Structure 1
Amino acid sequence: MEQKKLILIEIEKCRKEMNDLSKHLDLSSDEVVSISRQLDKLLNQFEKAR
C-alpha cells in the first residue's frame, strides 16, 4: 500500500480514538491531548507526502 494511504488509515484510527475518548474525558485530559498531538503529527506527515 502506498505511504499516503497508510497515513490516512492511521489518521482515521486516531480521529476515532480521540472522538471516543473525548466523550468520556475532558478535552484537556492527558489522554486526549496525547492523541491530538499524534494526530497532528500524522496530518503533517500526510501533507509532506502530497
Structure 2
Amino acid sequence: MSEAEDLLKDIETLREQLENTIKQKQENLINFEVISVSRMLNSLLNKYNETIK
C-alpha cells in the first residue's frame, strides 16, 4: 500500500474519532479533546496534501 493510501485510512479513522468526540462532548467545539483530535486530523491532511503533490 502506498503512503498516500495509508494516510487516507488514517485520515478516515481520525475523522470518525473527531465526530465521536464532538458528540461525546455535547458538540462543545472548544473542548480540549475535540481540539486535540482536530489538530491531529489537520496535521494528517497537510501531510497527505504534501504527499500527493
Q: TM-score, normalised by structure 2?
A: 0.90
Distance 1:17 1:11 in 2: 10
Partner-residue secondary structure (3-state), 1:21: helix
Q: Is 1:41 matched up with 2:43?
A: yes
Q: What is the RMSD of the two structures over their aligned residues, measured on CA atoms?
A: 0.6
Structure 1 runs of 4+ aligned residues shifted over 6 Å read none
Deviations 1:1-50 (A, max 9, x none): 10000000000000000000101211111101000000000000000001
Q: TM-score, normalised by structure 1?
A: 0.95
For 1:32, the equivalent position in structure 2 comes to: 34
Partner-residue secondary structure (3-state), 1:28: coil
For 1:12, the equivalent position in structure 2 comes to: 12
Work out the percentage of aligned pairs sharing the same amino acid: 32
Unaligned runs of 5+ in 2: none
